[in-house]
Amino acid sequence: MARIIKETVRGLDVVALEDELFLNREIFLTEEVNPETANELIKELMVLEAEDDEAEITLYINSPGGEVTSGLAVYDYLTMMRAPIRTVSIGTAASMGAILFLAGDKRQMLPHTRLMIHDPSYGHADMSGKKPHEIQHELDKLNETREVIAKIISVKTGKSMEEVYKATADDTYYNAEEAVAFGLATEIATWDTLRKRG
Does residue 152 fall inside a structural domain?
Answer: yes
Does residue 53 fall inside a structural domain?
Answer: yes
CATH code at position 118 = 3.90.226.10
Does residue 9 fall inside a structural domain?
Answer: no
Does residue 8 fall inside a structural domain?
Answer: no
Does residue 198 fall inside a structural domain?
Answer: no
Q: How many domains does the chain have?
A: 1
Closest CA to 148 of 168, 130, 170, 126: 168
Closest CA to 28 of 91, 113, 70, 81: 91
Cβ neighbours of residue 180 closer than 8 Å, sequence gap 6 or more: 109, 186, 187, 188
Question: What residues make up the domain containing 43?
Answer: 14-193
* pLDDT digits 0-9 by tens, 83-141: 999 999 999 999 999 999 999 999 999 999 999 999 998 665 566 667 887 778 878 88
User: Residue 99: what pLDDT?
Assistant: 98
Does residue 5 fall inside a structural domain?
Answer: no
Q: Which of 1-15, 101-115, 184-198 has the lowest mean pLDDT?
A: 1-15
Mean pLDDT of the region 174-195: 95
**Which residues partner with 57 through β-bridges?**
85
Residue 162 neighbours by CB distance under 10 Å: 10
The Cα–Cα gap between 145 and 148 comes to: 5
Q: Which residues are catalytic?
A: 95, 118
**Which residues partner with 172 through β-bridges?**
117
User: Contact at 8 Å (CB) between 120 and 147?
Assistant: no
User: Residue 14: what pLDDT?
Assistant: 61
* pLDDT digits 0-9 by tens, 136-160: 887 888 899 999 999 999 999 999 9
The Cα–Cα gap between 44 and 67 comes to: 19
This prediction has a pTM of: 0.89
The Cα–Cα gap between 76 and 67 comes to: 14
Closest CA to 79 of 71, 69, 91: 71
